[in-house]
Amino acid sequence: MLLIHCPYCDDTLPELEFAYAGEAHIARPADPSKLTDEEWRDFLFIRSNPRGLHAERWRHINGCGRFFNALRDTVSDRFLTTYKAGQPRPDVTKLEAAE
């Protein structure tokens, strides 16, 4: 089972308490009617789906209830870090240097 660090509870807890909520940092366009069909498709459907580092949303649904973001390696499933919603994606090189 994955152990996930909730940045609000500041505790590392079992996967069962969390719900995955898709790729992070996808902002809804401010004015959808100005978008071309291709741009709207990209917003709705196109995801980066990387083999490697993935910024993603999780929700501590059976806990504090908050959405937060995580950086996880999709090959090893290892979490590099988790951070509060609204914060920018952390710089990975700094994270690795800190380890």
Partner 1 sequence: MNAPVKSFDGITVSVQPPVARLNLRIAPADLAAASAAFGLPLPGKIGQGAAKGDHAAWCLGPDEWLLHAAEADQAAITAAFAKARATTPHSLTVISDREITIAIVGPRAQELLSVGCPLDLARMAPGTAKRTLFDSAQVVLIRDADDGFRIEVWRSFFPHVSELLDIATRELAAGL
Partner 2 sequence: MTHFSALSLLKNALTGNKNWTEQWPDAQPKKEYDVIIVGAGGHGLGAAYYLAKEHGITNVAVIEKGWLGGGNTGRNTTIIRSNYLYDESAKLYDHALDLWDNLSTELNYNIMYSKRGVMMLAHNVHDVQSFQRHIHSNRLNGVDNRWLSTAEAKAFCPPLNDSPNARYPVMGAALQMRAGTARHDAVAWGYARAAAKRGVDIIQNCPVISIRRGADGSVEGVETAKGFIRAKKVAVSAAGHTSVIMQSAGVRMPLESFPLQALVSEPIKPIFPCVVMSNTVHAYISQSDKGELVIGSGTDQYVSYSQRGGLPLIEHTVAAICEVFPIFNRMRMLRKWGGIVDVTPDRSAILGKTPVKGLYVNCGWGTGGFKATPGAAHLLAWTVANDEPHKLNAPFTLERFTTGRLIDEAAAAAVAH
Q: Which residues bind partner 1 (CB under 8 A)?
A: 1, 8-11, 13-14, 16-17, 62-66
User: Rounded CA gap, 51 and 4, in Å?
Assistant: 20
Q: Which residues in the 76-95 window bind partner 2 by CB under 8 A?
A: 76-77
Do 36 and 59 contact (CB within 8 A), yes or no?
no
For partner 2, which is the closer residue by CB, 62 or 87? 62
Whether 60 and 68 have beta carbons less than 8 Å apart is answered as yes
Tell me whether strands 11-14 and 53-59 are parallel, antiparallel or unpaired. Answer: unpaired
Q: Which residues pair with 58 in a beta bridge?
A: 20, 68
Q: With CB cut-offs between 5 and 8 Å by kind, which of partner 1, partner 2, none does residue 80 bind?
A: none
Contact of residue 2 among partner 2, partner 1, none (CB under 5-8 Å per partner type): partner 2
Q: Minimal distance in Å, beta carbon 64 to partner 1?
A: 4
